[in-house]
Structure 1
Amino acid sequence: MLQHQQKFTMAFLGLVVLLLLTFASPTSSCTEKEQSSLLDFLAQLSPGSDSSLKMSWVHGADCCTWEGVTCRDDNMVMGVSLASKGLTGSISPSLGNLTGLMNLNLSHNSLHGNLPIELVLHNSIVILDVSFNHLAGPLKELQPLNPNLPLQVLNISSNFFTGQFPSTIWSAMKNLIALNASNNSFTGQIPASICISSPSFSVLDLCYNKFCGNIPPELGNCTTLRLLKAGHNDLSGALPHELFSATSLEHLSFPNNGLQGVFDGSQVVKLNNLMVLDLGSNGISGKIPNSIGQLRKLEELHLDNNLMYGEMPSTLDNCSNLRYINLRNNSFAGDLSKVNFTLLDLRIADFSLNYFTGRIPESIYSCSNLIALRLAYNNFHGQLSSRIGNLRFLSFLSLTNNSLSNVINVIQVLKSCKNLNTLIMGSNFNGETIPQNEGIDGFESLRVLTIDACPLVGKIPLWLSNLTKLEMLDLSNNHLTGQIPSWINNLQLLFYLDISNNSLAGDIPIALMNMPMIQSKRNAARLDPKFLELPVYWTPTRQYRMLNAFPILLYLGNNRFTGSIPPEIGQLKMLNALNFSSNNLSGEIPWQISNLKSLQLLDLSNNQLTGELPSALSDLHFLSIFNVSNNELEGPIPTGAQFDTFLNSSYGGNPNLCGFVLSHCISASRHETSTSREHRLHLAVIFGLVFGGLAALALLACFLIAKLVYDDHTENLVLLQRR
């Protein structure tokens, strides 16, 4: 969708800029008035702005030679282009004094304050682009003096504008072609008069705002409108029938709103130029009609997260240009093999979270350019066809939560997909044995592998050690046995390992403490930064488009591990989540865990750990989930920082732990038991007798010594007196 928007906008920008540059002359010299206006603009910028601009814009020099400035033959400034120059400060209204200015581009900077209305209502500006700044406040509602403003392209996207969109301005925008106000905080209703005032209006992008109310029927008057985007707002109601009179529309996009009503195929097919239709994440109901096949130019169809139902129309195959189809999370049903997928341009298909039945349609393997296929959470059964090896560009495959069988066959046929980097196929293969064949090769590009909740039996197979690009491995909720293999640290890019809820045993190996990606942030540069073809859903509400956005975790919980927690655990400094719960671990909690400064979750509950909680754990300032319950810990609970927020349940089942969060410890500290008091009383008496006796003896000795000294001294005095 972004490509279409960029294509439309760049076409207009390119045409106008070309016309502007045709009249530009590098030998002209601007007037003193225009030089002064530009210097006023420069003066409004903050000292931290691009120094090269201040070196170029020098008083007395020809401003037509200044950086970013172009002039016409008549010495008038016609263009100021300062995109991505690191500009800070505010935009001076003095730019409005440039009476020949046609192109003003200040995008991708850090400018703040208001957008001077003098620029929007300028008598010569054709292109105004202030996108990707920090501009704020409402757009002023003023009646233009010029009833026929020349502005053709206005881009104010990705700022912090608020308030309702002004309506009186548009009455004078008779030449407006493209308006992009996306990614702001505009409120109120979508302005209805834009198309009436601007007969050539073609591009309207209002997505990521706070627009509310119904979609204006007047938008149907936009006979030249090619792109209409208003996704991620608070729009409601149904799509007005009048909208489908805008038959030039190529891109219609209203995702993530509150739209309702029935998907009316008889209206939609009027848009026979439509290339992108995106109505995802609304409350739209109904079926996909057979007439959908009449949209021969359709490239993208997004109907995900709605209330739609019924079978897939067989006519979908007539949309021969279809590249992207997303029907995720609806109530579509029936046998998908009724559709003859001979869509040679199909790149991405998501049919997940529906009620499709039968076998995975063989015809889908004819879509030779398919990159991503998600069939998860349906009722598909049977085996995977060997024809899937024909999909040589396939990089993303999700089959989870179906009733597929023969996991050995799946592994064998998929190893032919040399570009496969994400393979998600848990909750299938009920009770089968995980393939142990050491000779399994392929999967050279695999970055994600999940075979969870099947529940498979067997050991962690050796062939996994060949997946040298693997970053995420999930084998949780199976019946795997044996030990964690010593080769685990050969997976040098692995940062996400979940083998919880199995029957694995033995000690936690030191090899697990030597995982390069979990040890140092420097290693993160080795990860592939590319976006995934489809988002990966970690939870139903949390999705990721990049793997390096996932938490770095080590989940070993609910197994049969024994021995102590290796102190080398302190080497895994990048960990976000550590779960060793519900095992048979013993010994003390190593203080080295306090080295894991990025830790947000630490669960050591339901083991046989002893000793005190290391006081250094209070240095884990990001820790939000902490559980050491049901162990044999003793002594004081660390205090301060996060440890003042954890509940009693974090420590339950450790009768010898004490701290202010544990009420029984508070009671014990304030009201000692009679046994404890009696014990301490006996100790006090004994110490009192011993130390009291020693003190008495000391006092008596001092008395005797003093008396002897006194008597001796007295005797001497008597003798002296007698002499």
Structure 2
Amino acid sequence: MQDILELKKNGDENELKIGKRVQEQTNLFQLDLLLFYLPSTCFSFHGLPGSLFRFLLVFSIQISILRSQEVSCNSNDLMALKGFSSCLESNITSWNISSSDCCTWTGVTCDNSTVTSKRVISLELGGEKLTGTICESLASLDQLRILNLSHDSLRGSLTTKLFQMQNLKVLNLSGNYFVGPIPANTDLPSILNLNISKNSFSGTVDGNLCNFFPHIKHLDFSYNRFPGEVPAALGNCTSLQHLFLNRNNFTSNLPKSLFQLQHLNELSLMYFWEACLRGPINVNCSAMARLISLHLGLNNLHGPIPESLSSCPSLSVLNLGHNNLTALQILQNCRNLTILLLSENFQGEEMPDNVNLQFRNLSSLDVSTNHLGGNIPPWFNKFSYLFYVDLSNNSFSGKIPEGLPDLRGLIDMNISLEVPSASHSTELGQTVQHRREIPTGGQVMTFPSSSFEGNKGLCGRSLTPCQPARGPLMHPQQDEQMTVFGLQFGFGAVTGFVLTVAHCFMSGWVFPKES
């Protein structure tokens, strides 16, 4: 009855329907109890046994009770949603605000928690192009489990009450225009997935965050403006499986505590805008047995790749590009690598030539702009799943490995070299007097000529022609014979000329003697 009185105070006549339905439901329930306690001898209908007739009558009444529940919506939840809608600059066109049944509104999901009404447990309005701010009234949805307002155009700072919803499990506010710090006095004891990425949040990340999110599994703070040090206390979020802190303003060494998270599957700390992370990589693979993906690119990390990295049993994706790392050889023992991105790191090193590399399932390899020397290793034909390889802007020499053009899955390959400082004609870096033709056949024929630029020792395709435009191309043996003949002819001609001139001088034909 209290719910009915509250609705009457609002002056909305349509909402009085809830009171009528509650009264009807109460009457049916009382009748159901009365029929249950009356003796079966009181019931008789056209010869049907009294007990059977009473059962059918009670059953029909219970069906009526269930039907009366289908249109009910908790009044507090209804008012909370109306308050949320009032703070939006753009109306949610599919919401009928005059309706008393909020459970039928787009994006709203209810449960059957009570006899008299349903409670809102999920509000999902991602991508609905909402504009405006979030009102505090939204926090009155005290049974809410899922709140998804991602990829809208909401702005402003967040109310503290929104971060004190005791039953909230999933909160996704990504892709909006929110600003300011994460509210103080945060208390989300049930939260499992928190995504506030792609906003403009700032302010120091509270070191006690994990105390507020004791069961958090997915935490995404990426693409914001958080400054200072990466909180070492994040290592206390012992249930974390996915942690994304990339593209912020963090400036510090990598906290060792992050590499102690035993359940972590994915860690991304790459590209911190104008700032960057520095120091060595302190991976503890003995503790991170479930680590699958590690992204540390576009920072200022330095030193050797830790040997422990090769003992991460589940590591599949590794991005260390654009740092100042050394010891490339260590990675040859990483068994399960499928994606390996290492551009702009290893100065003057060589790729390992070990044909027994462990990661046979490699699909993408980028070692561009590393100034790597030596030969391109011969083990590429071992990678039957390889579809992308970038070896550009290095200082390789020798030949293109024979197995590389034969990889059927290869979609994109780039082996364009650095522009050499001298006028050397190179095959892949070596001084030579002739050039090698780009291999024909296989997947190589699908790659653009730009994939081979800078290799002055390569010819063919749309690069420099491999032979002069005039005349037929000679067989190598014929070419050798012609060279020998040319040398013999030249030597004979010069010798004959010298002897003839000498004879003329000696005979007095050029300068006759005086008589």
TM-score by length of 1: 0.50
Residue 399 of structure 2 aligns with which residue? Answer: 359
Say if 1:236 and 1:141 are closer, same or farther in 2 by CA, change over 3 A.
Answer: farther
Distance 1:28 1:305 in 2: 62
Q: Which stretch of structure 1 is more off in the superposition, 394-403 or 244-253?
A: 394-403
The letter of the residue matching 2:251 is C
Say if 1:316 and 1:355 are closer, same or farther in 2 by CA, change over 3 A.
Answer: farther
Distance 1:331 1:406 in 2: 23
- Confirm whether residue 44 of structure 1 aligns to residue 87 of structure 2: yes
Secondary structure at the residue paired with 2:219?
strand
Secondary structure at the residue paired with 2:259?
helix
C-alpha distance after superposition, 1:572-630 (max 9, x if no partner): xxxxxxxxxxxxxxxxxxxxxxxxxxxxxxxxxxxxxxxxxxxxxxxxxxxxxxxxxxx
Q: 5+ unaligned residues in a row in structure 1: which ranges? A: 1-25, 412-424, 438-723
Select the structure of larger CA radius of gyration.
2
- Equivalent pair of 2:416/2:452 in contact (CA under 8 Å): yes
Identify the match of residue 220 of structure 2 among 157, 164, 180.
180
Identify the match of residue 229 of structure 1 among 255, 265, 268.
268
Identify the match of residue 32 of structure 1 among 75, 90, 97.
75
Residue 452 of structure 2 aligns with which residue? Answer: 399
- Equivalent pair of 2:160/2:186 in contact (CA under 8 Å): no
Secondary structure at the residue paired with 1:318?
coil
Residue 153 of structure 1 aligns with which residue? Answer: 193
Written as runs of structure 1 = structure 2, the 5 A alignment for 1:54-453 is 54=93, 56-74=95-113, 75-142=118-185, 144=187, 149-196=189-236, 198-233=237-272, 234-242=276-284, 245-264=287-306, 266-289=307-330, 292-313=331-352, 314-315=354-355, 317-377=357-417, 379-380=428-429, 382-391=435-444, 394=447, 398-407=451-460, 410=461
C-alpha displacement of 1:402? 1.4
The letter of the residue matching 2:301 is L
Distance 1:114 1:132 in 2: 14
C-alpha distance after superposition, 1:145-198 (max 9, x if no partner): x7xx110011111111112222223213121110111111111122222342x3
Secondary structure at the residue paired with 1:339?
helix
- Equivalent pair of 1:220/1:246 in contact (CA under 8 Å): yes
C-alpha distance after superposition, 1:527-577 (max 9, x if no partner): xxxxxxxxxxxxxxxxxxxxxxxxxxxxxxxxxxxxxxxxxxxxxxxxxxx
Q: 5+ unaligned residues in a row in structure 2: which ranges? A: 1-68, 419-427, 473-515
Say if 1:60 and 1:338 are closer, same or farther in 2 by CA, change over 3 A.
Answer: closer
Say if 1:343 and 1:174 are closer, same or farther in 2 by CA, change over 3 A.
Answer: same
Distance 1:122 1:435 in 2: 82
Say if 1:257 and 1:359 are closer, same or farther in 2 by CA, change over 3 A.
Answer: same
Distance 1:80 1:93 in 2: 15
C-alpha displacement of 1:247? 2.2
Distance 2:71 2:469 in 1: 76
Secondary structure at the residue paired with 2:453?
coil
Distance 2:278 2:286 in 1: 17
Secondary structure at the residue paired with 1:218?
helix
- Equivalent pair of 1:262/1:284 in contact (CA under 8 Å): yes
- Equivalent pair of 2:147/2:171 in contact (CA under 8 Å): yes
- Equivalent pair of 1:293/1:315 in contact (CA under 8 Å): no
TM-score by length of 2: 0.69
- Equivalent pair of 1:219/1:246 in contact (CA under 8 Å): no
Distance 1:223 1:280 in 2: 25
C-alpha displacement of 1:403? 1.9
Say if 1:395 and 1:156 are closer, same or farther in 2 by CA, change over 3 A.
Answer: farther
- Equivalent pair of 1:287/1:308 in contact (CA under 8 Å): no
Say if 1:76 and 1:434 are closer, same or farther in 2 by CA, change over 3 A.
Answer: farther
Runs of 4+ in 1 over 6 A off after TM superposition: 432-437
C-alpha distance after superposition, 1:437-458 (max 9, x if no partner): 9xxxxxxxxxxxxxxxxxxxxx
Secondary structure at the residue paired with 2:311?
coil
C-alpha distance after superposition, 1:639-698 (max 9, x if no partner): xxxxxxxxxxxxxxxxxxxxxxxxxxxxxxxxxxxxxxxxxxxxxxxxxxxxxxxxxxxx
- Equivalent pair of 1:68/1:81 in contact (CA under 8 Å): yes
C-alpha distance after superposition, 1:361-420 (max 9, x if no partner): 11112321111111111535742454443457657851111123443xx35xxxxxxxxx
C-alpha distance after superposition, 1:105-142 (max 9, x if no partner): 00110000012232233201111111111111111232
Q: Which stretch of structure 1 is more off in the superposition, 66-75 or 392-401?
A: 392-401
Say if 1:125 and 1:389 are closer, same or farther in 2 by CA, change over 3 A.
Answer: same
The letter of the residue matching 2:454 is N
- Equivalent pair of 1:119/1:125 in contact (CA under 8 Å): no
Distance 1:396 1:296 in 2: 33
Distance 1:207 1:374 in 2: 28
Say if 1:348 and 1:127 are closer, same or farther in 2 by CA, change over 3 A.
Answer: same
Distance 2:389 2:469 in 1: 28
Residue 36 of structure 2 aligns with which residue? Answer: none
Distance 2:471 2:88 in 1: 66
The letter of the residue matching 1:174 is P
C-alpha distance after superposition, 1:50-96 (max 9, x if no partner): x4x25524144200011110001121100001011110000112111
Distance 1:57 1:393 in 2: 56
Question: What is the count of residue pairs matched by the alignment?
Answer: 383
